[in-house]
Structure 1
Amino acid sequence: MKLKFKSIVFCLSIIGFSTSNAQINLGEKALGALQSGVASFTFSNEDAAKLSKEAVRKMDSTNVVAGAKDGYTLRLNRIFGKHASENGLALNYKVYLTKDINAFATADGSVRVYSGLMDIMDDNQLLAVIGHEIGHVANEDTKDGMKAALRKDALIGAVSSQSDKVAKLTDSQLGQLGSAMIDSKHSRKQETEADTFSYNFMKKHGYDVNAVESAFALLASQSGGTSADFLTQMMSSHPDPKDRAENAKKRAVKDGLYKPYVQKIINNKAVTKAPVKKKVVKKKK
């Protein structure tokens, strides 16, 4: 099965910009800023968090979100709920119900995991992927990604040059920004640092660090060993996914923690849903 990513796939359909576009009425001042590259545009962590929160709200409204009692939600609560304040961050998390294989985190601390990813990974592998995404938030890569998304999708003028504060985008612009934001690529250095964050996250909390190598190797094998689809962002277009898996292995060997990882599978599928309790029917005496 080849990975199919909606929010981490990077075959972007760049939305064209024109002054006649009714959805993005920037005005002459903003248009001038856009055409000049907005060299003076300042963008703080607070700005990134504010826009990310609104964009994620829009994405939540257009995706099927698992309910509080859904098995996927119960599983994510069980394995990740205790890390909602990881590294001093205020993280919120939800599951999108779709077969797509995906996970992402944004500048405001929103973590979204697709059920398709949960279907192919066990708990430790899933934590390794989420740890990687949190690393991008902790390292402020998501702020850079947001700024790049604004620039790429012709929205930077909409939030700049209007006043000293970042302007509020329209609902349609937020939807556009959400897709562009998650589609933004990270640099080789950022990806490497996020890999290290993931490994350290696993080690710090006493999880099996070998799941980091295993998760990367699994994603690489699912996509045929290429950097297409999910790997284009999660694994970036420059570092080879197999090399990244090998680097994780080397860290484990150096720490004296390496051992071949065995994925926990039930019925040819990684554990996905919480066990359903059977009703006990009492026999009448």
Structure 2
Amino acid sequence: MKRVIIIVLALLGFHEGSQAQIKINSNLMQALMEAVGSATISDAQVAELSRQAIVEMDAKNPVAAANDPYTVRLNKIVSRHHTISGIPVNYKVYKVADVNAFATADGSVRVFKGLMDIMTDNELLAVMGHEIGHVVNHDTRDAMKRSLQRSAIRDAVGSTSGKLGELSRSQLGDIADGLLGAKFSRQQETEADDYSYGFLKRYGYNVLALATSFEKLAKLSGGGQGGKVATILSSHPDSQSRAQRVRDRARRDGLLR
């Protein structure tokens, strides 16, 4: 999924209605310069950049309060899962109508209101399990590394001579264009599906929740919902095929007759 562009643009402080020149927070810019300037971006740097990006994103999105029904529901769903495969995980709800969810390399999971509105509790766990699978499998880490290393951020940062500067909107556009190609492969998506299936099975949930979540997304996508589900489906294999693959596996495992 196209998470990297969201993360990096959040780091850069880009938002609608911004001025032609956008001043970057010095701490974020310094961290970005250090990471991009290195031939090897460490896992710790990627996680730290992700953490700082999430702080920025949380500040710019309507986050459900602790007593909000959406937060209460999500906390109940994930009460057993604040550490997954050794990764500390934190969860929040964005009260945004889009049907979406994402996880970042620091273990942050963000679920959109629109997704919660159409999914059952187990289906939400299945979707979150898929996103966390990308983190556990290092897909998210590797995608960010590749994008940072090859993007126009290197040139933009270099033009400041190591000092805090301002990026033009055209430079931000170049960065966005470069990051749009950062998709997960079909194999990575399949492996993330497998992680979610194993996660559901390991904790005693109904694995068919993964199949029904795909079927709901396929129905929405085919029903002209367009932008509301485009992000979550944009780089994925066909959702109906994925649902059938889950059903076939469940049948082989004796979980479906």
Q: Which TM class, normalised by the smaller chain length? A: 0.7 to 0.9
CA distance in 2, matches of 1:88, 1:126: 21
Partner of 2:92: 94
Q: Which residue of structure 1 aligns with residue 242 of structure 2?
A: 244
Structure 1: runs of 5 or more not aligned: 16-20, 26-37, 260-285
Is 1:123–2:121 an aligned residue pair?
A: yes
1:115 shift after superposition? 0.8
Quick check: 2:91–2:110 contact (8 Å CA) kept in 1? Answer: yes
- Written as runs of structure 1 = structure 2, the 5 A alignment for 1:182-193 is 184-193=182-191
Alignment size in residue pairs: 228
* 1:145 counterpart = 2:146: no
TM-score normalised by L of structure 2:
0.74
* Alignment partners' CA distance in 2, 1:171 and 1:135: 36
Q: Looking at both structures, which has the greater relative contact order when contacts are Cα pairs under 8 Å and sequence separation is at least 6?
A: 1
Larger radius of gyration: 1
Q: What's the % identity of the aligned pairs? A: 48
Mapped to 1, the partners of 2:144 and 2:124 lie a distance apart of 24
Partner of 1:61: 59
Report the counterpart of residue 17 of structure 2 in structure 1. Answer: none
* Aligned equivalents of 2:164, 2:209: Cα separation in 1: 40
- Indicate the structure with greater helix content: 2
Q: Which runs of 5+ in 2 are unaligned?
A: 15-19, 25-35
In structure 2, what is the Cα distance between the partners aligned to 1:60 and 1:146? 19
Picking from 189, 209, 217, the partner of 2:215 is 217
Pair 1:231–1:136, CA change in 2 (3 A): farther
One-letter code aligned to 1:94:
K
Aligned pair in 2 of structure 1 residues 88, 7: CA closer, same or farther (>3 Å)?
closer
Query: What's the secondary structure of 2:88's corresponding residue?
Result: coil
Q: Matches of 1:233 and 1:148 in 2, distance apart? A: 20
Give the AA of the match of 2:72: L
After superposition, what is the alpha-carbon deviation per residue over 1:140-179, rounded to whole angstroms, capped at 9, x for unaligned? 111122124435752245679x9xxxx9999999xx799x
Partner SS for 1:256: coil
CA shift for structure 1 position 188: 1.1
Task: Find the residue that maps to 1:223 and give its secondary structure.
Answer: helix
> Does the 8 A contact of 1:7 with 1:182 survive in 2?
no
Q: For the structure 1 residues 215 and 168, does the alpha-carbon distance in structure 2 shift closer, same or farther, using more than 3 Å as the test?
A: farther
Worse overlay, 182-191 or 199-208: 182-191
1: distance between equivalents of 2:89 and 2:179?
18
How do 1:267-278 residues align onto structure 2 when only pairs under 5 Å count? none
The Cα of 1:65 is off from its aligned counterpart by 0.4
The question of whether the paired residues in 2 share the 8 Å contact of 1:85 and 1:91 is answered with yes
Instruction: State the partner residue of 2:69.
Output: 71
* 1:82 match: 80
Q: Which residue of the partner structure matches residue 198 of structure 2?
A: 200
Task: Provide the alpha-carbon RMSD of the alignment.
Answer: 4.0
Distance 2:113 2:22 in 1: 32
Q: Runs in 1 of length 4+ with deviation above 3 angstroms?
A: 5-10, 21-25, 156-160, 167-173, 180-184, 228-238
Alignment of 1:222-241 (within 5 A): 222-224=220-222, 234-235=232-233, 237=235, 239-241=237-239
Residue 126 of structure 1 deviates from its aligned partner by 0.5
TM-score, normalising length: structure 1? 0.67
Say whether residues 1:132 and 2:130 are aligned partners.
Answer: yes
1:99–1:46 CA distance, 2 compared to 1 (3 A): same
Query: Offset at 1:187?
Result: 1.1
- Quickly say closer, same or farther: Cα 1:171–1:213, change in 2 above 3 A: farther
Q: Which residue of 1 aligns with 2:28?
A: none
8 Å Cα contact 1:220-1:241 kept in structure 2: yes
- Can you list the C-alpha shifts for 1:41-92, whole angstroms capped at 9, x where unaligned? 2122111101011111100000000011000001111011320101100111
Query: In 1, are the aligned partners of 2:98 and 2:228 still within 8 Å (CA)?
Result: no
Superposed displacement of residue 104, structure 1: 0.2
Q: Aligned letter for 1:74?
A: V
Could you tell me whether the CA contact under 8 Å between 1:6 and 1:102 is conserved in 2?
no
